[in-house]
């Protein structure tokens, strides 16, 4: 890069970073949800590659291994070309003489010293910096070794930041009042005391009040099916909120309701790649389960995710579950759509009075 061009872009970056990033006129961020552009010196990137890939290129199995995010390194002189992307990381150690390090030191000196102190001298997150619904994250430490240590120590939080904004963007693109089945949501609210966002192309395939079970399907009998079920247990014990019970409840439900058309086989949880973790589901403690489903006679399968939580107000145990069957397709984004849809679930007590009124009116139409 010519010296004069370097200083122009360098000064522009500092000016942009010093701005609030809240200009309502900026255009939406572009690019794939699962790509993170990493602004880094080529040698420093190679030194930090393992820690970055461990953190952001986490594998999920669908059953094929797929990455949550894919890292794409760019040089600092390419920022102007890629600054409108959804996910951006700017990374360098402070003791380096690289261009990226010089940029970060200039930013720290001008606007971000206090912020770095708040984040233990490691990270700055800027939202809507160069594009709307964008996350730009600066990662830095005194030297490469410390930076690598910090990345690995905070890997869950770093990954979550990009997952959270990705989910927010996806929800904005999925949600549309024009294609929302408010009449179905109103019926669920009236009869069961909860709602979940029901897109126009989802059908209520099974409604079993005697089993406290509702099943929604999209594109049945196609090569890209999606299934969602909601199940609840009244007067439940919070002791049920543990992995073994959740697995047993799900298998019992799918054995009864997820059966082949000839009733000869049914869905069970596969043994491989089954994981559970404790999460915050819209302010509630929940067990998050992720794994693979398969037929008990094998032959077909796919990924599923599951949130199970206990609701104190209603004394109910809720199980929310999303599955994908798309053998010919990349499924990472499909399972994320299921996740975002499940997170739209709300109990009656969480709805505003106006929303409740609108939905109940829709149920009567």
Between β-strands 225-233 and 316-325, what pairing exists: parallel, antiparallel or unpaired?
Answer: antiparallel
CA dihedral in degrees (29, 31, 33, 35; nearest 10)?
-120
pLDDT value of position 178: 84
Whether residue 311 is predicted with pLDDT greater than 60 in this model: the reply is: yes
Higher pLDDT, 199 or 116: 199
- Confidence bin at 211 (pLDDT 50/70/90): very high
- Going along the chain from its start, the domains and CATH numbers come out as 17-173 (3.40.50), 176-364 (3.40.1000.10)
Whether residue 54 is predicted with pLDDT greater than 50 in this model: the reply is: yes
Report the distance separating Cα 14 and Cα 102, nearest Å: 11
Contact (Cβ atoms closer than 8 angstroms) between residue 34 and residue 67: yes
Angle at 76 between CA 74 and CA 80, to 5 degrees: 90
Whether residue 20 is predicted with pLDDT greater than 60 in this model: the reply is: no
Report the distance separating Cα 221 and Cα 305, nearest Å: 21
Whether residue 2 is predicted with pLDDT greater than 50 in this model: the reply is: no
Contact (Cβ atoms closer than 8 angstroms) between residue 125 and residue 135: yes
> Of the ranges 33-37, 103-107, 203-207, which one carries the lowest mean pLDDT score?
103-107
Signed CA dihedral, 203, 206, 207, 212: sign only: negative
Whether residue 18 is predicted with pLDDT greater than 90 in this model: the reply is: no
Whether residue 24 is predicted with pLDDT greater than 70 in this model: the reply is: no
| Segment 260-277, tens digit of pLDDT | 989 999 999 999 999 999
Whether residue 3 is predicted with pLDDT greater than 50 in this model: the reply is: no
pTM: 0.88
Contact (Cβ atoms closer than 8 angstroms) between residue 154 and residue 123: yes
Could you tell me which residues come within 8 angstroms of residue 269 by beta carbon, excluding any fewer than 6 positions away? 247, 250, 251, 291, 292, 293, 294, 304
Whether residue 113 is predicted with pLDDT greater than 60 in this model: the reply is: no
Three-state secondary-structure class, residue 201 = coil
Strand partners, 61: 65
Contact (Cβ atoms closer than 8 angstroms) between residue 77 and residue 1: yes
What is the DSSP code string of 74-112?
E-GGGHHHHTTBSEEEEE--TT--SHHHHHHHHHIIIII
CA dihedral in degrees (59, 61, 65, 67; nearest 10)?
-40
pLDDT value of position 365: 79
């Amino acid at each position: 890069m010519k010296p004069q061009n370097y200083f122009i872009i360098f000064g522009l970056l500092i000016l942009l970073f010093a701005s609030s990033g809240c200009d309502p006129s900026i255009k939406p961020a572009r690019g794939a949800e699962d790509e993170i552009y990493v602004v880094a010196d080529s040698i420093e990137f190679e030194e930090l590659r393992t820690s970055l890939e461990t953190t952001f290129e986490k594998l999920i199995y669908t059953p094929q291994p797929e990455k949550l995010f894919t890292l794409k390194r760019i040089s600092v002189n390419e920022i102007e070309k890629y600054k409108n992307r959804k996910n951006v990381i700017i990374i360098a150690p402070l003791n380096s003489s690289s261009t990226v390090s010089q940029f970060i030191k200039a930013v720290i000196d001008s606007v971000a010293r206090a912020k770095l102190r708040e984040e233990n001298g490691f990270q700055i997150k800027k939202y809507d910096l160069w594009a709307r619904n964008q996350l730009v994250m600066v990662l830095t430490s005194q030297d490469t070794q410390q930076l690598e240590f910090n990345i690995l120590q905070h890997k869950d939080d770093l990954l979550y930041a990009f997952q959270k904004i990705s989910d927010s963007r996806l929800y904005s693109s999925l949600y549309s009042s024009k294609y929302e089945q408010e009449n179905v949501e109103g019926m669920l609210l009236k009869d069961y005391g909860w709602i979940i966002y029901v897109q126009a192309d989802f059908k209520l395939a099974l409604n079993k009040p005697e089993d406290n079970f509702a099943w929604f399907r999209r594109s049945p009998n196609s090569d890209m099916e999606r299934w969602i079920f909601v199940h609840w247990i009244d007067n439940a014990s919070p002791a049920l909120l543990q992995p073994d019970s959740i697995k047993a409840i799900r298998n019992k439900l799918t054995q009864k309701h997820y059966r082949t058309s000839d009733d000869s086989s049914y869905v069970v949880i596969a043994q491989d790649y089954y994981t559970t973790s404790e999460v915050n589901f819209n302010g509630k403690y929940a067990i998050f389960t992720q794994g693979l489903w398969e037929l008990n006679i094998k032959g077909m399968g796919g990924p599923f995710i599951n949130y199970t939580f206990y609701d104190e107000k209603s004394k109910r145990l809720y199980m929310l579950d999303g599955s994908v069957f798309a053998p010919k397709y990349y499924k990472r984004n499909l399972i994320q759509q299921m996740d975002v849809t499940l997170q739209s679930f709300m109990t009656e007590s969480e709805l505003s009075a106006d929303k409740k009124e609108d939905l109940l009116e829709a149920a009567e139409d």
